[in-house]
Amino acid sequence: MSYGFLDIASTPSVRAAQAEMGIDHFWSDFSGDRTMDRFTEGEKAFIGERDSFYMATVSETGWPYIQHRGGPAGFLKVVDDRTLAFADFRGNRQYISTGNLAASDKACLFLMDYPRRARLKIYAHVEKLALDEDPAITALVTDAGYRGKAERIFKVRLEAFDWNCPQHITPRFTEKEVAAAVRPLQDRLAELEQENAALRAKAGPA
């Protein structure tokens, strides 16, 4: 049986908090799509555009840990409609997420699109693979032009996903996005400067 994101997230304590706020009936009568256990073309495109995401894991002592993962746009690869994979690049060498996932393979991923104020959250099971364990997946996630050193592969099996509303997301833009936005203005400014230079040349000395 397929379960939706809220079916996983709505523990007894969460339901108690909803009841305390007087909105438990809203979620108990929720009639939206509860499955969302297959990525559609929309999610695949969104994932393919991301150059970072956040991943939450939990230790044996119950403490959560959130790690930022970054790389070239599209470094989080869609293997199929229920599977993602990414290369785990060497970082500060604390290996907290890696250790947590050895104790529990459950994780939650947050993928953010700040300019469009969109976020995709994913419940998943994460499997650690050696670089030579699955050559096809290693080839898929490897980017020869990226300077990061891959130490392992993480294979992500989707359990459920959901989209959040844009409320309270402040738009932010990368250097590349800002450059693309101002390029038409720069092009127009260059045209005007050329026109001014031509007019000055035509007018001659003052």
- pLDDT value at residue 122: 96
CATH of domain 36-171: 2.30.110.10
pLDDT digit string (tens) for 121-149? 999 999 999 999 999 999 999 988 888 88
Q: Check residue 1 and give its pLDDT.
A: 35
Give pLDDT, residue 59: 96
The amino acid occupying position 204 is G
pLDDT in the model for residue 45: 97
C-alpha 143/C-alpha 106 separation (Å) is 27
Low-confidence residues in the chain, pLDDT < 50: 1-2
Residue 158 pairs in a beta bridge with 124
